[in-house]
Amino acid sequence: MGSVFALNADGSVQTVASGLSEPEGMVVQADDRILVAEQGRNRIVAVDPHSHAVTVWRTFQNRTSGAGIDGIGPILPARDANGQALANGNDVVVPDSPNGVVWLVSADGKSAIQLASGMTRPVGAARDAAGRLLIADEGGTLWRLDPAKQRLATLPTPDDVVVTQDAHLFVNTLGDNAIHEFDPQGHPIRVLSGIGQPQGMALDRADNLYYAAMTGGQIVRLVRTFILDPPHVVHIASNRFTVCPVIRRASGFRAPLSLTTESNARIDILQLVQPGTGSSGAAEIQTAQPSIRIDVGGQSETVPLSP
């Protein structure tokens, strides 16, 4: 039987659910419930992260002798750019792997609309900025639903797909142990090869790519933009500090980054110097708080302040 674990901020590991049959893909709903695909039972369960209660969200019929559901998601946004509620907001995209179908399932799991059929084994999905769905089909195809099904690329056993903020696509492929990058039009850009069975991918808020190499038991980060190293803190006077983020940029990444700090009645921002292409910026603050939260280019970190 399989389990779901949570990795806490302090590095500790907590069991969230157990007794699952071959758990595979996961997504987190707006109410913090975790949807988990049980491949062994061809169903999706909802896990309460607080009580750890497991309930059946939706069961799918497996009309084949193949393995059950693999990846699930994404969850569609609840509102548009103007803040208006969307009709399909919070619905969940579910690739019905054994049956070659893609469903859009309501947030409560009670109703479903078929989006596409005729695939070999759809196992992963992502949504681009235009609202189109990208489907990784282990039969050898990356599909785009616009809304009709279009073959975007032919690949050796694609397993998952993610879309960056600038609409680039990354597809991991089990047939050649690689990750393929495409531009927004689907033209190939580069191939990261020599990865031992890449099984999962994710992007952080700065569009850095993380992937799991199953053969080596590793999680690898590919820095595409920038990352934050531990910041430098200088204690100037009583309750007065200079906080200097440490920005590590990827080669060739020169986009401007904005530095902001936590703001409340207990914090005075005395000076704020924005990062440059060769500098990381700084914030001079006065506060009695034991820590302060800073944000650089969408990446946040909590900074302990010296006594």
Domain contains 235: yes
User: How high is the pLDDT of residue 159?
Assistant: 97
Query: Tens digit of pLDDT for each residue in 286-298?
Result: 999 999 999 999 9
User: How high is the pLDDT of residue 213?
Assistant: 94
Mean pLDDT of 195-213: 95
Q: State the residue range of the domain holding 286.
A: 226-304
Q: In the structure encoding, which two tokens stand for residue 202, read together?
A: 């994710």
The alpha-helical segments, DSSP class H, found in the chain are none
User: How high is the pLDDT of residue 9?
Assistant: 78
φ and ψ at 98, to 5 degrees?
-70, -25
Domain contains 215: no
Q: In the structure encoding, which two tokens stand for residue 10, read together?
A: 């302090």
CA-based nearest residue to 153, from 175, 165, 166 = 175
User: How high is the pLDDT of residue 149?
Assistant: 96
Reply yes or no on whether the pLDDT at 81 is more than 90. no
- Taking CB atoms within 8 Å and a gap of at least 24, the contacts of 254-261 are 255/225, 257/226, 257/281, 257/296, 257/297, 258/295, 258/296, 258/297, 259/283, 259/294, 259/295, 259/296, 260/294, 260/295, 261/285, 261/292, 261/293, 261/294, 261/295
User: How high is the pLDDT of residue 307?
Assistant: 62
The count of structural domains within the chain is 1
Domain contains 131: no
Mean pLDDT of 16-43: 97
* Least confident span in 8-12, 51-55, 145-149: 8-12
**DSSP 8-state assignment for residue 204:** -
Domain contains 288: yes
Domain contains 261: yes
| Confidence band of 11 (pLDDT split at 50, 70, 90) | confident
Domain contains 99: no
Model confidence, pTM:
0.90
* CATH code of residue 239: 2.60.40
Mean model confidence pLDDT for the chain? 95
Mean pLDDT of 197-210: 94
Domain contains 265: yes
Domain contains 66: no
Query: Tens digit of pLDDT for each residue in 228-255?
Result: 999 999 999 999 999 999 999 999 999 9
φ and ψ at 99, to 5 degrees?
-100, 0
Strand partners for 202: 210
